Structure 1
Amino acid sequence: MTSFLDKIKQRRSIYAIGKNVALEQDKIEDLIKDAVKHSPSSFNSQSSRVVILFGESHHKFWNIVRETLRKMVPADAFAGTNAKIDSFSAGLGTVLFYEDQKVIEGLQEQFKLYADNFPVWSEHSSAIAQFATWTALAEHNIGASLQHYNPIIDEEVAATFDVPASWKLRAQLVFGSVEAPADEKSFMNDAERFKTFN
């Protein structure tokens, strides 16, 4: 039986992805929803919001990223950027992770003593939802990598996919079939990272 830690170890950044995924689209959608729904959040705020893109919408999203970067990256250096976007677009889909600022502001108003902490805790909630989703996909042999093209794409993406103004884009998880495994992962020395006291 595979342990929870084994599933965490299976989750890696997979950059060579394709569309050859055995799991049906509706099952993937349910998997993503369950992973986010059951991820903890401070004060049970449930501030995480998700937009799931498949098919033409997935390609449209990555084209927005491409054309936004085209305006920013020097023309003679754009080929590498373009190839990277092509590799993401080659995947099956993308999960856009948002945090609803109305929820955060409501908590700040309700619990003034913790007001400064709620934006930080919101980031924690989003990170947990991202990690849970990524690991759930990996459990089904679906490769993914987490990207961060926000905030440069936020406005156009919001307009294109009818995203509420209070939703703040935090990350983009692109996923698909594993076409090539991740490289070997190295770890820093435990003595530099951990302390234990009795």
Structure 2
Amino acid sequence: METKFIELAKKRRSIYALGRKVDFSQDELVDLITSVIKQAPSPFNNQTTRAMILFGNSHEKLWDIVAAALRQVVKDDDAFAKTQAKINGFKAAYGTVLFFTETQTVKDFEQNFPLYADNFQDWSEQAQGNAQYAVWTALAENDLGANLQHYNPLIDDAVREAFDVPTSWRLRAEMDFGSIEAPAGDKDYLDDSERFRVFK
């Protein structure tokens, strides 16, 4: 039995020590990320996932937006200093993928397939998970680290204004990526008996 996918899955980890020592061109990375998202499954093939790929000043601008938004929430200077250090770590990465859901498509499918209308919101989130995991794993396959953040909806309005986001796109996650400057720590697993049941 082939197990290459399992080895890739093990390689995909949350890497927080990221840098900019990336040998691939931005065009190569764009091609990789967009190709992977296109191949990720979605319900009814409705392709509700959208993405923006940020490099350079745009990447840094995103994390400045995050820091500014968090500063409005975290009033204590010492606490914010820790928050700022964390954000600076994301900013030190090479780029960021912003994942969105195209909400008008979700609404269209709710109207066109009323029997399944209650499911399309959930299914769009499943499509997000498929796309995010696929991109993360493809980056890991190419020895690039990444981690997934969720500062939405706190930053939604500022991101919409800064990057001319269509009104029907709803921000779901932010994935910063770059060279791996330090490996992930050990990962613990629940006992199989708690997670799986097999009937034969």
Partner of 2:60, secondary structure, is: helix
- How far, CA to CA, are the matches of 1:52 and 1:94 in structure 2? 6
Offset of 1:74 from its aligned partner? Answer: 2.1
**How has the CA–CA distance of structure 1 residues 177 and 2 changed in structure 2, closer, same or farther, with 3 Å as cutoff?**
farther
- How far, CA to CA, are the matches of 1:6 and 1:24 in structure 2? 26
- How far, CA to CA, are the matches of 2:33 and 2:26 in structure 1? 11
- Superposition map of 1:5-44 within 5 A: 5-44=6-45
Residue 91 of structure 1, aligned match among 88, 93, 105: 93
Offset of 1:75 from its aligned partner? Answer: 2.5
Gaps of 5+ in 2: none
Partner of 1:150, secondary structure, is: coil
Residue 84 of structure 2, aligned match among 82, 85, 88: 82
TM-score computed with the length of structure 1 as normaliser: 0.98
- How far, CA to CA, are the matches of 2:9 and 2:70 in structure 1? 32
- Structure 2 residue 188 is the aligned partner of structure 1 residue 183: no
- Superposition map of 1:146-185 within 5 A: 146-185=148-187
Moved over 4 A (4+): none
Partner of 1:13, secondary structure, is: coil
- How far, CA to CA, are the matches of 2:97 and 2:53 in structure 1? 5
Which segment is superposed worse, 39-48 or 18-27?
Answer: 18-27
1:73 aligns with: 74
Offset of 1:146 from its aligned partner? Answer: 0.3
- How far, CA to CA, are the matches of 1:83 and 1:2 in structure 2? 38
Partner of 1:115, secondary structure, is: helix
Q: Deviations over 1:59-103 (max 9, x none)?
A: 000000000000100233101100000000000000000000010
1:105 aligns with: 107
Offset of 1:49 from its aligned partner? Answer: 0.3
- How far, CA to CA, are the matches of 1:173 and 1:25 in structure 2? 16
Q: CA RMSD in A?
A: 1.0
- How far, CA to CA, are the matches of 2:34 and 2:10 in structure 1? 22
- How far, CA to CA, are the matches of 1:62 and 1:161 in structure 2? 13
Offset of 1:2 from its aligned partner? Answer: 7.3
Partner of 1:180, secondary structure, is: coil
Question: Identity percentage over the alignment?
Answer: 52
2:53 aligns with: 52
Gaps of 5+ in 1: none
Offset of 1:22 from its aligned partner? Answer: 1.2
- How far, CA to CA, are the matches of 1:24 and 1:11 in structure 2? 21
- How far, CA to CA, are the matches of 1:58 and 1:85 in structure 2? 12
Which segment is superposed worse, 71-80 or 177-186?
Answer: 71-80
TM-score computed with the length of structure 2 as normaliser: 0.97
Q: Deviations over 1:2-56 (max 9, x none)?
A: 7111111100000000000111111111000011000000000011000000000
Q: Deviations over 1:126-154 (max 9, x none)?
A: 11000000000000010000000000100
AA at the equivalent of 2:175? L
- Structure 2 residue 138 is the aligned partner of structure 1 residue 131: no
The number of equivalent residue pairs is 198
Partner of 2:172, secondary structure, is: strand
